[in-house]
Amino acid sequence: MGNFKRVNYPKKSFATCFKTTFHKSMSETKKVLLTGDRPTGPLHLGHYVGSLQNRVQLQHTCEQFVMIADMQALTDYFERPEHVVKNVAEVVKDYLAVGIDPQKTTIFIQSQIPELCELTMLLLNLVTTSRLQRNPTIKNEIQLRGFEESIPAGFLCYPVSQAADITLFRATHVPAGEDQAPMIEQTNELVRRFNYTYKTDCLREVELMLSKTPRLIGIDGNAKASKSLGNAIFLSDSAETVHEKVFSMYTDPNHIRVSDPGKTEGNVVFAYLDAFDPDKDEVESLKAQYRKGGLGDMTLKRRLDEILQTLLKPVREKRAAVTDKEALEIAIEGTKKMKTIAQNTMEAVRNAVGIVYRGG
Ligand code: ATP
Ligand code: MG
Protein backbone atom coordinates (compact mmCIF):
# COMPACT_ATOMS: atom_id res chain seq x y z
CA MET A 1 0.00 0.00 0.00
CA GLY A 2 1.75 3.15 -1.16
CA ASN A 3 1.93 6.49 0.56
CA PHE A 4 -1.14 8.60 0.45
CA LYS A 5 -1.63 12.33 0.62
CA ARG A 6 -3.19 13.68 3.74
CA VAL A 7 -6.26 15.78 2.96
CA ASN A 8 -8.34 17.54 5.55
CA TYR A 9 -11.75 16.04 5.02
CA PRO A 10 -14.53 16.90 7.45
CA LYS A 11 -14.33 14.11 10.00
CA LYS A 12 -17.10 11.87 11.23
CA SER A 13 -16.28 12.15 14.90
CA PHE A 14 -16.51 9.20 17.23
CA ALA A 15 -19.39 10.85 19.04
CA THR A 16 -21.42 11.35 15.85
CA CYS A 17 -20.80 7.79 14.72
CA PHE A 18 -21.85 6.59 18.10
CA LYS A 19 -25.53 6.69 18.91
CA THR A 20 -25.59 5.31 22.43
CA THR A 21 -24.21 6.95 25.56
CA PHE A 22 -20.50 6.95 26.30
CA HIS A 23 -19.27 4.28 28.66
CA LYS A 24 -17.25 5.57 31.64
CA SER A 25 -14.11 4.14 30.03
CA MET A 26 -14.67 6.28 26.97
CA SER A 27 -13.89 9.42 28.92
CA GLU A 28 -11.25 11.25 26.92
CA THR A 29 -9.22 12.18 30.02
CA LYS A 30 -8.67 8.96 31.96
CA LYS A 31 -6.04 6.55 30.65
CA VAL A 32 -7.59 3.37 29.28
CA LEU A 33 -5.23 0.40 29.51
CA LEU A 34 -5.53 -2.76 27.48
CA THR A 35 -3.19 -5.68 27.92
CA GLY A 36 -3.45 -9.39 27.63
CA ASP A 37 -1.77 -12.73 27.74
CA ARG A 38 -1.99 -15.81 25.57
CA PRO A 39 -3.39 -18.76 27.55
CA THR A 40 -0.61 -21.02 26.30
CA GLY A 41 0.66 -21.88 29.78
CA PRO A 42 0.96 -20.40 33.24
CA LEU A 43 2.51 -16.95 33.61
CA HIS A 44 6.15 -16.47 34.51
CA LEU A 45 8.55 -13.93 35.98
CA GLY A 46 8.94 -12.26 32.55
CA HIS A 47 5.24 -11.42 32.64
CA TYR A 48 5.60 -10.23 36.21
CA VAL A 49 8.33 -7.65 35.56
CA GLY A 50 7.36 -6.90 31.95
CA SER A 51 3.70 -6.20 32.52
CA LEU A 52 1.88 -7.60 35.58
CA GLN A 53 3.62 -5.39 38.14
CA ASN A 54 2.66 -2.30 36.15
CA ARG A 55 -0.93 -3.50 35.84
CA VAL A 56 -1.24 -4.00 39.60
CA GLN A 57 -0.12 -0.41 40.22
CA LEU A 58 -1.99 1.24 37.39
CA GLN A 59 -5.35 -0.36 38.17
CA HIS A 60 -5.79 2.19 40.98
CA THR A 61 -5.60 5.23 38.74
CA CYS A 62 -6.61 4.02 35.27
CA GLU A 63 -9.46 2.14 33.66
CA GLN A 64 -7.88 -1.25 33.01
CA PHE A 65 -8.95 -4.09 30.74
CA VAL A 66 -7.03 -7.36 30.65
CA MET A 67 -7.75 -9.80 27.86
CA ILE A 68 -7.06 -13.50 27.80
CA ALA A 69 -6.06 -13.89 24.18
CA ASP A 70 -7.35 -17.39 23.42
CA MET A 71 -8.06 -16.61 19.74
CA GLN A 72 -4.52 -15.32 19.35
CA ALA A 73 -3.17 -18.42 21.11
CA LEU A 74 -5.02 -20.58 18.56
CA THR A 75 -3.03 -18.98 15.72
CA ASP A 76 -0.16 -21.30 16.64
CA TYR A 77 -1.92 -23.79 18.95
CA PHE A 78 -4.77 -24.51 16.48
CA GLU A 79 -4.18 -28.26 16.79
CA ARG A 80 -4.34 -28.14 20.60
CA PRO A 81 -7.43 -26.07 21.43
CA GLU A 82 -7.93 -28.02 24.69
CA HIS A 83 -4.53 -26.78 25.90
CA VAL A 84 -5.56 -23.16 25.25
CA VAL A 85 -8.98 -23.59 26.89
CA LYS A 86 -7.51 -25.28 29.97
CA ASN A 87 -5.06 -22.44 30.48
CA VAL A 88 -7.68 -19.67 30.58
CA ALA A 89 -8.46 -20.35 34.27
CA GLU A 90 -4.74 -20.78 35.01
CA VAL A 91 -3.99 -17.31 33.68
CA VAL A 92 -6.86 -15.76 35.67
CA LYS A 93 -5.52 -17.44 38.81
CA ASP A 94 -2.08 -15.95 38.12
CA TYR A 95 -3.66 -12.49 37.77
CA LEU A 96 -5.46 -12.77 41.10
CA ALA A 97 -2.36 -14.19 42.78
CA VAL A 98 -0.18 -11.18 41.89
CA GLY A 99 -2.82 -8.70 43.01
CA ILE A 100 -4.94 -7.86 39.99
CA ASP A 101 -8.25 -6.95 41.57
CA PRO A 102 -11.35 -7.81 39.51
CA GLN A 103 -13.16 -4.90 41.17
CA LYS A 104 -10.64 -2.53 39.58
CA THR A 105 -9.57 -4.44 36.47
CA THR A 106 -11.92 -6.04 33.97
CA ILE A 107 -10.64 -9.47 32.96
CA PHE A 108 -12.25 -10.92 29.83
CA ILE A 109 -11.97 -13.67 27.20
CA GLN A 110 -11.15 -12.65 23.63
CA SER A 111 -13.05 -15.41 21.79
CA GLN A 112 -16.31 -14.44 23.48
CA ILE A 113 -16.36 -11.02 21.79
CA PRO A 114 -17.14 -11.70 18.08
CA GLU A 115 -17.01 -7.96 17.32
CA LEU A 116 -13.22 -8.35 17.50
CA CYS A 117 -13.36 -10.60 14.42
CA GLU A 118 -15.56 -8.09 12.62
CA LEU A 119 -13.13 -5.23 13.23
CA THR A 120 -10.18 -7.47 12.31
CA MET A 121 -11.79 -8.18 8.92
CA LEU A 122 -12.16 -4.47 8.21
CA LEU A 123 -8.58 -3.71 9.29
CA LEU A 124 -7.15 -6.56 7.19
CA ASN A 125 -8.14 -4.60 4.09
CA LEU A 126 -5.80 -1.80 5.15
CA VAL A 127 -2.53 -3.71 5.39
CA THR A 128 -0.42 -5.66 2.90
CA THR A 129 0.99 -9.15 3.44
CA SER A 130 4.51 -7.80 2.85
CA ARG A 131 4.05 -5.26 5.66
CA LEU A 132 2.94 -8.08 7.95
CA GLN A 133 5.96 -10.16 6.97
CA ARG A 134 8.26 -7.26 7.87
CA ASN A 135 7.00 -7.07 11.47
CA PRO A 136 10.14 -8.00 13.47
CA THR A 137 8.27 -9.82 16.26
CA ILE A 138 6.36 -11.90 13.71
CA LYS A 139 9.59 -12.65 11.80
CA ASN A 140 11.23 -13.88 14.98
CA GLU A 141 8.20 -15.92 16.09
CA ILE A 142 7.83 -17.52 12.64
CA GLN A 143 11.40 -18.71 12.93
CA LEU A 144 10.93 -19.98 16.49
CA ARG A 145 7.86 -21.97 15.48
CA GLY A 146 9.38 -23.35 12.27
CA PHE A 147 6.67 -21.71 10.16
CA GLU A 148 9.10 -20.43 7.48
CA GLU A 149 7.97 -22.96 4.85
CA SER A 150 4.28 -22.28 5.17
CA ILE A 151 2.96 -19.58 7.46
CA PRO A 152 -0.61 -20.05 8.71
CA ALA A 153 -2.49 -16.95 7.52
CA GLY A 154 -4.03 -16.52 10.96
CA PHE A 155 -0.59 -16.34 12.54
CA LEU A 156 0.74 -13.83 10.01
CA CYS A 157 -2.31 -11.66 10.60
CA TYR A 158 -2.40 -11.76 14.39
CA PRO A 159 -0.93 -8.24 14.69
CA VAL A 160 -4.08 -7.04 12.91
CA SER A 161 -6.30 -8.92 15.31
CA GLN A 162 -4.24 -7.36 18.11
CA ALA A 163 -4.87 -3.91 16.63
CA ALA A 164 -8.58 -4.73 16.79
CA ASP A 165 -8.23 -5.81 20.45
CA ILE A 166 -6.64 -2.49 21.35
CA THR A 167 -8.82 -0.17 19.32
CA LEU A 168 -12.20 -1.83 19.86
CA PHE A 169 -11.97 -1.00 23.56
CA ARG A 170 -10.63 2.51 22.82
CA ALA A 171 -7.42 1.89 24.75
CA THR A 172 -4.94 4.74 25.11
CA HIS A 173 -2.04 2.77 26.65
CA VAL A 174 -0.67 -0.78 26.58
CA PRO A 175 1.55 -1.79 29.53
CA ALA A 176 3.55 -4.61 27.92
CA GLY A 177 7.02 -5.95 27.23
CA GLU A 178 9.47 -4.81 24.58
CA ASP A 179 8.33 -7.53 22.13
CA GLN A 180 5.09 -5.58 21.77
CA ALA A 181 6.69 -2.42 20.29
CA PRO A 182 6.28 -3.55 16.64
CA MET A 183 2.65 -4.48 17.40
CA ILE A 184 1.87 -1.03 18.72
CA GLU A 185 3.56 0.57 15.71
CA GLN A 186 1.45 -1.56 13.39
CA THR A 187 -1.71 -0.78 15.38
CA ASN A 188 -1.10 2.96 15.03
CA GLU A 189 -0.48 2.63 11.29
CA LEU A 190 -3.83 0.86 10.98
CA VAL A 191 -5.60 3.46 13.10
CA ARG A 192 -4.27 6.30 10.90
CA ARG A 193 -5.11 4.39 7.75
CA PHE A 194 -8.63 3.59 8.94
CA ASN A 195 -9.38 7.13 10.13
CA TYR A 196 -7.98 8.60 6.90
CA THR A 197 -9.80 6.18 4.59
CA TYR A 198 -13.19 6.59 6.27
CA LYS A 199 -12.72 10.25 7.25
CA THR A 200 -13.34 9.61 10.90
CA ASP A 201 -11.62 9.78 14.28
CA CYS A 202 -13.39 6.64 15.34
CA LEU A 203 -10.24 4.68 16.25
CA ARG A 204 -7.64 5.97 18.67
CA GLU A 205 -3.85 5.75 18.53
CA VAL A 206 -2.20 4.05 21.47
CA GLU A 207 1.05 4.25 23.45
CA LEU A 208 3.22 1.41 24.72
CA MET A 209 4.08 1.66 28.45
CA LEU A 210 7.34 -0.16 29.08
CA SER A 211 8.34 -1.30 32.54
CA LYS A 212 11.82 -0.99 34.09
CA THR A 213 12.52 -4.54 32.83
CA PRO A 214 10.86 -4.64 29.42
CA ARG A 215 12.52 -7.96 28.55
CA LEU A 216 13.55 -10.62 31.05
CA ILE A 217 15.97 -13.16 29.61
CA GLY A 218 15.37 -16.91 29.88
CA ILE A 219 17.01 -19.03 32.58
CA ASP A 220 18.94 -20.70 29.73
CA GLY A 221 20.40 -17.36 28.63
CA ASN A 222 17.98 -17.05 25.69
CA ALA A 223 17.06 -13.45 24.83
CA LYS A 224 13.53 -13.83 26.25
CA ALA A 225 11.90 -15.93 28.93
CA SER A 226 8.84 -17.38 27.26
CA LYS A 227 6.15 -19.97 27.84
CA SER A 228 6.75 -21.54 24.44
CA LEU A 229 10.49 -21.90 25.03
CA GLY A 230 9.98 -23.47 28.49
CA ASN A 231 12.86 -21.39 29.85
CA ALA A 232 11.05 -19.45 32.55
CA ILE A 233 10.37 -19.53 36.27
CA PHE A 234 6.59 -19.75 36.55
CA LEU A 235 4.64 -17.88 39.21
CA SER A 236 3.07 -21.22 40.15
CA ASP A 237 6.35 -23.18 40.40
CA SER A 238 6.90 -24.97 43.72
CA ALA A 239 9.62 -23.74 46.08
CA GLU A 240 11.76 -26.76 45.08
CA THR A 241 11.36 -26.06 41.35
CA VAL A 242 12.30 -22.40 41.82
CA HIS A 243 15.38 -23.52 43.78
CA GLU A 244 16.38 -26.01 41.06
CA LYS A 245 15.86 -23.48 38.29
CA VAL A 246 17.95 -20.83 40.06
CA PHE A 247 20.78 -23.28 40.68
CA SER A 248 20.70 -24.42 37.02
CA MET A 249 21.06 -20.85 35.73
CA TYR A 250 23.71 -20.04 33.21
CA THR A 251 26.43 -17.72 34.55
CA ASP A 252 29.86 -17.21 33.00
CA PRO A 253 31.37 -20.49 31.69
CA ASN A 254 34.89 -19.10 32.20
CA HIS A 255 34.26 -18.35 35.86
CA ILE A 256 35.54 -21.68 37.14
CA ARG A 257 37.21 -20.88 40.45
CA VAL A 258 35.79 -18.39 42.94
CA SER A 259 38.95 -16.29 42.53
CA ASP A 260 38.51 -16.03 38.71
CA PRO A 261 37.24 -12.71 37.35
CA GLY A 262 33.73 -13.18 35.91
CA LYS A 263 31.48 -11.55 33.34
CA THR A 264 28.25 -9.92 34.49
CA GLU A 265 26.85 -9.16 31.01
CA GLY A 266 24.76 -12.04 29.67
CA ASN A 267 25.01 -13.64 33.13
CA VAL A 268 21.49 -14.85 33.92
CA VAL A 269 21.89 -14.60 37.71
CA PHE A 270 22.82 -10.93 37.45
CA ALA A 271 20.01 -10.22 34.98
CA TYR A 272 17.56 -11.64 37.53
CA LEU A 273 19.19 -9.78 40.42
CA ASP A 274 18.86 -6.57 38.37
CA ALA A 275 15.17 -7.28 37.93
CA PHE A 276 14.24 -8.58 41.40
CA ASP A 277 16.77 -7.53 44.03
CA PRO A 278 15.36 -4.51 45.86
CA ASP A 279 18.87 -3.45 47.01
CA LYS A 280 20.26 -1.97 43.78
CA ASP A 281 23.45 -0.59 45.42
CA GLU A 282 24.30 -4.02 46.77
CA VAL A 283 23.81 -5.56 43.28
CA GLU A 284 26.24 -3.00 41.83
CA SER A 285 28.81 -3.81 44.50
CA LEU A 286 28.35 -7.57 43.90
CA LYS A 287 28.90 -6.99 40.17
CA ALA A 288 32.16 -5.11 40.86
CA GLN A 289 33.35 -7.91 43.15
CA TYR A 290 32.41 -10.59 40.58
CA ARG A 291 34.26 -8.82 37.78
CA LYS A 292 37.36 -8.54 39.93
CA GLY A 293 37.20 -12.16 41.13
CA GLY A 294 36.52 -13.58 44.59
CA LEU A 295 32.75 -14.01 44.44
CA GLY A 296 31.32 -17.47 43.82
CA ASP A 297 28.26 -18.35 41.69
CA MET A 298 26.78 -20.30 44.61
CA THR A 299 26.72 -17.22 46.86
CA LEU A 300 24.91 -15.25 44.17
CA LYS A 301 22.45 -18.05 43.44
CA ARG A 302 21.64 -18.42 47.14
CA ARG A 303 20.89 -14.70 47.30
CA LEU A 304 18.65 -14.84 44.20
CA ASP A 305 16.86 -17.96 45.43
CA GLU A 306 16.01 -16.25 48.71
CA ILE A 307 14.68 -13.14 46.94
CA LEU A 308 12.53 -15.16 44.55
CA GLN A 309 11.21 -17.44 47.29
CA THR A 310 10.12 -14.37 49.29
CA LEU A 311 8.40 -12.90 46.24
CA LEU A 312 6.69 -16.10 45.09
CA LYS A 313 5.53 -17.64 48.40
CA PRO A 314 2.52 -15.33 48.89
CA VAL A 315 1.73 -15.52 45.15
CA ARG A 316 1.66 -19.32 45.32
CA GLU A 317 -0.53 -19.26 48.43
CA LYS A 318 -3.02 -16.80 46.96
CA ARG A 319 -3.15 -18.81 43.76
CA ALA A 320 -3.94 -22.04 45.61
CA ALA A 321 -6.91 -20.37 47.30
CA VAL A 322 -8.76 -19.76 44.00
CA THR A 323 -10.67 -22.53 42.23
CA ASP A 324 -10.91 -22.86 38.43
CA LYS A 325 -14.65 -22.23 38.70
CA GLU A 326 -14.17 -18.97 40.59
CA ALA A 327 -11.50 -17.85 38.13
CA LEU A 328 -13.74 -18.55 35.12
CA GLU A 329 -16.70 -16.79 36.72
CA ILE A 330 -14.62 -13.61 37.05
CA ALA A 331 -13.61 -13.76 33.37
CA ILE A 332 -17.18 -14.45 32.22
CA GLU A 333 -18.53 -11.52 34.27
CA GLY A 334 -15.81 -9.23 32.83
CA THR A 335 -16.62 -10.38 29.30
CA LYS A 336 -20.22 -9.16 29.69
CA LYS A 337 -19.04 -5.63 30.46
CA MET A 338 -16.59 -5.63 27.56
CA LYS A 339 -19.27 -6.83 25.17
CA THR A 340 -21.22 -3.62 25.69
CA ILE A 341 -18.16 -1.48 24.88
CA ALA A 342 -17.40 -3.67 21.86
CA GLN A 343 -20.92 -3.31 20.49
CA ASN A 344 -20.83 0.46 20.92
CA THR A 345 -17.51 0.90 19.14
CA MET A 346 -18.55 -1.46 16.35
CA GLU A 347 -21.66 0.62 15.80
CA ALA A 348 -19.43 3.67 15.34
CA VAL A 349 -17.07 1.71 13.07
CA ARG A 350 -19.92 0.43 10.86
CA ASN A 351 -21.30 3.95 10.60
CA ALA A 352 -17.88 5.30 9.65
CA VAL A 353 -17.43 2.69 6.91
CA GLY A 354 -21.07 3.10 5.88
CA ILE A 355 -22.10 -0.55 6.17
CA VAL A 356 -25.45 0.25 7.70
CA TYR A 357 -28.55 -1.03 5.90
CA ARG A 358 -32.10 -0.10 6.74
CA GLY A 359 -35.04 -1.54 4.83
CA GLY A 360 -38.50 -0.10 4.31
P1 ATP B 1 4.19 -17.37 24.22
O2 ATP B 1 5.52 -18.04 24.25
O3 ATP B 1 3.02 -18.30 24.18
O4 ATP B 1 4.10 -16.26 23.19
P5 ATP B 1 4.95 -15.46 26.20
O6 ATP B 1 5.76 -16.02 27.33
O7 ATP B 1 5.68 -14.73 25.10
O8 ATP B 1 4.08 -16.65 25.65
P9 ATP B 1 2.71 -13.69 26.03
O10 ATP B 1 1.38 -14.19 26.52
O11 ATP B 1 2.98 -13.73 24.55
O12 ATP B 1 3.85 -14.52 26.80
O13 ATP B 1 3.00 -12.21 26.56
C14 ATP B 1 2.12 -11.52 27.43
C15 ATP B 1 2.74 -10.24 27.92
O16 ATP B 1 3.89 -10.47 28.72
C17 ATP B 1 3.19 -9.28 26.82
O18 ATP B 1 2.92 -7.98 27.24
C19 ATP B 1 4.67 -9.49 26.75
O20 ATP B 1 5.36 -8.34 26.29
C21 ATP B 1 5.00 -9.76 28.21
N22 ATP B 1 6.18 -10.65 28.32
C23 ATP B 1 6.23 -11.95 27.98
N24 ATP B 1 7.46 -12.46 28.18
C25 ATP B 1 8.21 -11.43 28.67
C26 ATP B 1 9.57 -11.31 29.09
N27 ATP B 1 10.40 -12.34 29.04
N28 ATP B 1 10.01 -10.10 29.55
C29 ATP B 1 9.17 -9.04 29.62
N30 ATP B 1 7.86 -9.09 29.23
C31 ATP B 1 7.39 -10.27 28.77
MG1 MG C 1 4.53 -14.15 23.25
- Report all structural domains of the chain as residue ranges with CATH numbers, in order of start: 4-216+324-359 (3.40.50.620), 239-319 (1.10.240.10)
How far apart CA 178 and CA 140 sit, in angstroms, is 13
Q: Is the CB of residue 255 less than 8 Å from the CB of residue 249?
A: no
- For ligand 1, what atom is nearest to the CA of residue 175? 18
Sheet containing 207-209: give its strands across: 105-109, 63-68, 32-37, 173-175, 207-209
Residues 208-247: b if buried by 16+ CB within 10 A, e if exposed? bbbbebbbbbbbeeeebbbbeeebbbbbbbeeeebbebbe
Q: Which of 17-31, 174-188, 315-329 has the lowest mean pLDDT?
A: 17-31
How far apart CA 331 and CA 34 sit, in angstroms, is 15
CA of 47 to the centre of ligand 2 (A): 10
CA of 226 to the centre of ligand 1 (A): 6
How far apart CA 37 and CA 138 sit, in angstroms, is 16
pTM value is 0.91
Q: Which band of pLDDT confidence, cut at 50, 70 and 90, is reported for residue 37? A: very high
Mean pLDDT of 216-220: 95
Q: Which amino acid is at 22?
A: F
Q: Which band of pLDDT confidence, cut at 50, 70 and 90, is reported for residue 24? A: very low
The count of residues in the chain is 360
CA of 150 to the centre of ligand 1 (A): 24
How far apart CA 9 and CA 196 sit, in angstroms, is 9
